[in-house]
Structure 1
Amino acid sequence: MAAGRRALKMEETRAKLIRAARAAFAAKGYAAASMDDLTAAAGLTRGALYHNFGDKKGLLRAVIEELDAEMLAKARAVRDRAATPWLGFMEEGVAYIELALEPEIQRIMLLDGPAVLGDPSQWPGQNACLRTTTETIQALIEARTVRPVDAEAAARLINGAALNAALWVAASDDPRAVLAKAIEAFRCLASGLLQARDDP
């Protein structure tokens, strides 16, 4: 019983720190967010932060994992509403790029995250996303919707295009104008996977 309570308390502590960090990183940016301020906002000590996340960078990693999971869920919800598997696949990619307009995602995931944690394509969430995209493309190949290409290669290129489009939108001076161009080009690129009508 005591172990269960301890685990629950630890989970509550982690959740409080992540919530405070999300607010601080979104409002001030990672570099300007003070560990003392965000631990005070969570009603905790620096020791709790070090114990649960190692350091500020570890806390950023946890915040990004949470945001990444939320982005994935939003994009999947768009996919699941589509009329066909192909349209769902396409709309999921577009939805991911559109999320670059959300201020919290823009600042934490797409600007500060890569600057602090390095190449986003190497983050654990991206690897999970790659597996799912590979499976989706394989299913579309088997349904003869998509040309018979290597599913993992196609997934890497499609995911890379969506991620780089989102990074471009987030870093631009006019995100809405860039978004329109990025989505148009993404749709054009992804459509190249479609089986041509005269293919055997």
Structure 2
Amino acid sequence: MIEPARRSRGEMSAATSARLVAAARAAFARDGFASTSMDALCTEAGVTRGALYHHFGSKEGLLEAVVHQIDAEIGERLDAENQRHADPWEGFRACCHLWLEQALDPEIQRIFLKDAPAVLGQRMREMDEANSIAPLRDALAELMDTGRIARTDPEALARLINGALVDAALWVAAAGEPQPALARAHSATDTLLRGLGTQR
């Protein structure tokens, strides 16, 4: 009798967390982090303010949970895009371009590119280290090992490419006409990546 009750409490806890994250994601995308009221979030999710503190510790903790969710979804898109290409180099190039295209999504613009870096600071940088730079470094090291790109320090190159893509995405997101800006970013990215390649 005890074990089913425990599972039930766990399921209820997960459902409460999911409702809070969904409500926060919608509110942060619509109104921005600073303008979102915690009381309004709790009302929309149908939970108490104490539940928010219990699950996430703070409004910033809830933002971090939303960012993790969005980041995981972007990662799934990039993985799916990479798997579409038999050639690892072409998959890498396609993923760089797909990342730029995320800047057209208003939700990603507001939460992931604008509010999260400003609010989460060092924690956002730590997430970037784990979820962006480390996979980039590993992919680049493999491409170097197979002779597809010129040999250099993969860690340094990953940071350069990541910084360039993030800054370009911010530029696209802030542009008055994002589609022309995205086209220019795609063209410049192709030029940048061509410089890494080697002839087989």
The amino acid of 2:77's aligned partner reads K
Residue 189 (1) aligns with residue 192 (2): yes
Task: Quote the sequence identity (%).
Answer: 45
Alpha-carbon distance, 1:17 to partner? 0.3
| Counterpart amino acid of residue 112 in structure 2 | M
- How far the C-alpha of 1:10 sits from its partner, in A, is 1.6
> Structure 1 stretch 95-104 or stretch 77-86: which is displaced more?
77-86
Matches within 5 A, 1:47-86: 47-86=50-89
Q: Are the counterparts in 2 of residues 36 and 46 from structure 1 also a CA contact under 8 Å?
A: yes
Unaligned runs of 5+ in 1: none
- State the AA in 1 paired with 2:67: I
Could you tell me the TM-score, scaled by structure 2's length?
0.91
Q: By how many angstroms is 1:109 displaced? A: 0.6
Instruction: Tell whether 2:157 aligns with 1:154.
Output: yes
For the 8 Å contact 1:21–1:60, the answer to whether it is kept is yes
Q: Is the 1:120–1:126 Cα contact (8 Å) retained in structure 2?
A: no
TM-superposition CA deviations, 1:44-97 (whole Å, max 9, x none): 011111111111111111101110111111122112112411110011011011
**Pairing 1:16-35 to 2, within 5 Å after superposition:** 16-35=19-38
> Which range moves more in the overlay, 187-196 or 82-91?
187-196
Pairwise CA distance, 1:101: 0.3
Unaligned runs of 5+ in 2: none
Following TM superposition, the consecutive aligned residue runs of length 4 or more in structure 1 with deviations greater than 4 angstroms are: none
Name the SS for the 1:144 alignment partner.
coil
Q: TM-score when scaled to structure 1?
A: 0.91
Superposition deviation, residue 108 in structure 1: 0.7
Offset of residue 118 of structure 1? 2.5
Partner of 1:113: 116
CA distance in structure 2 between the aligned counterparts of 1:122 and 1:187, rounded to whole angstroms: 26
Query: Which aligned pairs between 1:94-133 and structure 2 lie closer than 5 A?
Result: 94-118=97-121, 122-133=125-136
Report how many residues are paired: 197
Residues 100 and 170 of structure 1 are in contact (CA less than 8 Å); yes or no, is this contact kept in structure 2?
yes
Give the match for residue 7 of structure 2. 4
